[in-house]
Chain A
């Protein structure tokens, strides 16, 4: 083997290692634990802003109103049999506050590290707590409302910095100065780099049967709940938002994955934290047929 070939192999090995390290993101940099490896800070007090599905979340819909849920025949049968008074009498008030429904409850969410490998999510709605465990397999035998959650960070690999150069525009309407168009470039110099970003993926199983919606539209114990937590990029002066994307897959009560994404706004402190017990208001009386 000549010196030249040896050098080439060495160079190749070094470059391969560099690429591999970059592709791994923070996890590949010898991070000691989940807390120090976090590519994004999710901790803090967050308040849900109910700008979607308002009538299902702020109010209790009537029995049999399962609009937009890809519900199966069995799921429909369960939902049609929902009886709030019976739930309350049976001590099942928290059925709408389980892992599959808690994110949709109006309230505040407090995220903090319990230890270096456990992220704790507390909800003042229903006074619920979820523990998101990093790097541990298996699930406990006893099923709970919140189940057993396994978490992992998802970090994008680094991207070569810099944006593209200005290019030929294709606007056919009036072109204003600085507004682009053929060869124009009015913007500031691109930063040349991007922030790290990243999100938290959580897979939850091992929970008790609960409600996707307050009116008995259910998920079963056989379901799997996958969530992605994103702290959204924001400019100074803008609100900071947390987006939680939830995918519920339930071979029993759903015919296809049920997708929701829920927005929370960062609050400066916990001064508005107001824990309440699990409680569901009764639905409105049946609709009148006035029109």
Chain B
């Protein structure tokens, strides 16, 4: 008995000795900035794109970028995203979360002093969330030790920048990190892939040293301040008019073409061209113009995401469907495509067995209203009628014009700019902005703090403006600005008010403001071209949506450009 106990103890010792042999990255680390110091520390020189394998879309974005954009309230406290944050001046703390039963590491947690960001690296083998889940500035990370290298993969990262002088990153960016420790030196490698703005992976590495004495510089205080009144504008430079784009080139005696020449300039072969004064072959193609919507919008299984409060998003029925549940019953915003209507009912029933009382349509499109009749018939008002369908009168007019059956039409309409009512313990406000069609409505669940945007905002394509129906660019921008007015981030442009877009993933104010900026910037470019007398063909050839085509698709970009051109030409 004694021998068995001793043997067990020794085996335990042996195993725990092996487990402890894993190198530790726990501790407080502070940066050394012996590489790329110009950008990482002072960062005062505009136009440094050296070494970034940026494509033509990124160049256009960078040339257009006006740093005064950070004056906008929604940008003032925006943190660096994951692929950027380790490049700035920072210190960070790493600690472990262990399974009490096995003492194995479940997760590494990091607190990054810059912008007070927290991130978690899951070590328990869990999968990454689906495409339609929200993105954050730090993303969703999973890790695995391979020897003494901790390899981390991160997705679901918000759009931001690779360089603060305007080299953009997209929300399709994925990052592979490697943490490597030698004594008190921690090397951190990032391999960044971005199909929207990079032609090749962007690789960089940075060194950190273990802080033997902690200091107190762990706080980042950002308070929103209105310094200038920009009255709805988004600072940007028209093509060829950025006066700062060559600052870096001039300061260090380098040709601009080399500085933003992209991937080609990062290989040794470029040395020969550089010495001969030959510019790199600028890569003019953009990333594939097909939106990466890897999850089909209509699926066999409809997934429910609890967004916040009483509101859920159902994905897989066509356009996104929002469902509010509570003691009063069920309220459904949009009913998806007709082909998915039965599955949609099943999905709603999994959330609540209460009667469906109300349906709201954000517009009249078939992918938003295809289940109207079925969902309405499956529900009932307190009077015993099929669930009432609410929409702006413009939506009813459109469905009538389309000869949609009377049972599909929203007969409970409103015509004023706003409408509100109370259901399931919270106020529900409706706002009319004719940006996609003449009958668009935004829905705001005030208690749950969730906006449902309809097709005024989507993450899958450019906006579609039905000019013939009476929609316009002003209505679109006004609608986006209204949602920005309503949305309040919880902390540093993240969380707080959530937004269910017409199509795509769950968003918050940070995502919304990028979309608004994009719409305004493209509008500004087209307006300038119209003012200069350019024809539609000339405008299209100039590709005013180039820097966003890789993200939202060149096909929908061309339609958006044409719509805006027609609207602005008509005004003129």
Residues of A within 8 A of B (CB): 4, 7-8, 11-12, 15, 18-19, 22-23, 39, 47-55, 58-59, 61-62, 65, 67-70, 106-108, 124-125, 154-160, 162-167, 170, 172-180, 184-190, 194-199, 201, 228, 230, 232-233, 238-239, 241, 243, 245, 247, 258-261, 263, 272, 274, 281, 283-285, 287-288, 290-291
Contacts and interface: CB of A to CB of B under 8 A. Distances in A.
Interface string B27-64: 00000111111100100000000111100000000000
Q: What size tier do the contact residues of chain B reach?
A: 35 or more
A163 B104 contact: yes
B205 A263 contact: yes
A195 B14 contact: no
A185 B129 CA distance: 11
- In order of increasing CB-CB distance, the 9 nearest A-B pairs are A197-B147, A284-B253, A179-B129, A68-B37, A54-B50, A176-B133, A186-B127, A164-B104, A157-B21
A198 B252 CA distance: 40
A290 B148 CA distance: 51
Given A49-B267, A53-B36, A159-B18, A164 B106 contact: yes
A125 to B, nearest CB: 7
A285 B251 CA distance: 11
A186 B126 CA distance: 5
B14 A174 contact: no
A279 B293 CA distance: 50
Nearest to A67: B37
A88 to B, nearest CB: 15
Nearest to A256: B32
B269 to A, nearest CB: 8
A233 B265 contact: no
B151 to A, nearest CB: 5
A179 B130 contact: yes
A189 B125 contact: yes
Contact of B19 (A51, A160, A288): A160
Interface in B252-293: 252-254, 258, 265-271, 274-275
Contacts of A62: 252-253
A184 to B, nearest CB: 7
A179 B99 contact: no
B134 A174 contact: yes
A190 B205 contact: no
A106 B126 contact: no
Given A179-B129, A197-B149, A261 B205 contact: yes
B495 A69 contact: no
Contact of B265 (A54, A159, A175, A259): A54
Interface stretch (B137-145, B412-420, B556-564): B137-145
Contact of A164 (B6, B53, B98, B313): B98
Contact of B126 (A61, A184, A263): A184
Interface in B1-33: 2-3, 6-7, 10-11, 13-15, 17-19, 21-23, 32-33
Nearest to B303: A177
Contacts of A199: 148, 180
Interface of B: 2-3, 6-7, 10-11, 13-15, 17-19, 21-23, 32-38, 41, 50-53, 97-99, 101-102, 104-107, 120, 122-130, 132-134, 136, 140, 142, 144-149, 151, 176, 178, 180, 182, 185, 187, 189, 191, 201-207, 247, 250-254, 258, 265-271, 274-275, 303-308, 313, 495, 498, 506
Contacts of A15: 10-11, 13-14
A174 B268 contact: no
A211 B23 CA distance: 34
Contacts of A22: 18, 21
B107 A47 contact: no
A170 B106 CA distance: 12
B139 to A, nearest CB: 12
Given A15-B11, A58-B274, A125-B268, A288 B204 contact: no
Given A15-B14, A49-B266, A59-B274, A188 B125 contact: yes
Contacts, number: 279
A281 to B, nearest CB: 5
28 contacts: A8-B3, A51-B266, A58-B258, A58-B265, A58-B271, A67-B37, A68-B37, A108-B268, A124-B268, A156-B23, A158-B18, A159-B22, A160-B18, A166-B126, A174-B305, A175-B305, A175-B306, A176-B303, A178-B126, A178-B130, A184-B126, A197-B146, A201-B182, A239-B201, A243-B189, A243-B205, A245-B182, A258-B34
B178 to A, nearest CB: 5
B253 A48 contact: no
Contacts of B247: 291
Contacts of B106: 164-167
A55 B305 contact: no
Contact of A170 (B120, B254, B268, B274): B120
Contact of A172 (B180, B275, B495): B495
B369 to A, nearest CB: 25
B126 A18 contact: no
A52 B204 contact: yes
Contacts of A47: 267-268
A177 B130 contact: yes
Q: Which of B140, B252, B275, B303 counts the most A-chain CB atoms under 10 A from its CB?
A: B252
Given A18-B14, A188-B125, A232-B149, A52 B36 contact: yes
Contacts of A261: 35, 187, 189, 205-207
Given A19-B17, A167-B124, A162 B275 contact: no
A243 B178 contact: yes
A164 B35 contact: no
Contacts of B132: 176
A281 B145 CA distance: 43
Contacts of B304: 177
A26 to B, nearest CB: 11
Q: Which of A22, A47, A188, A197 counts the most B-chain CB atoms under 10 A from its CB?
A: A197
B133 A174 contact: yes
A187 B142 contact: yes
Q: Which of A7, A50, A69, A201 counts the most B-chain CB atoms under 10 A from its CB?
A: A50
A174 B267 contact: no
Contacts of B21: 22-23, 156-159
A188 B144 CA distance: 13
Contacts of B123: 163-164
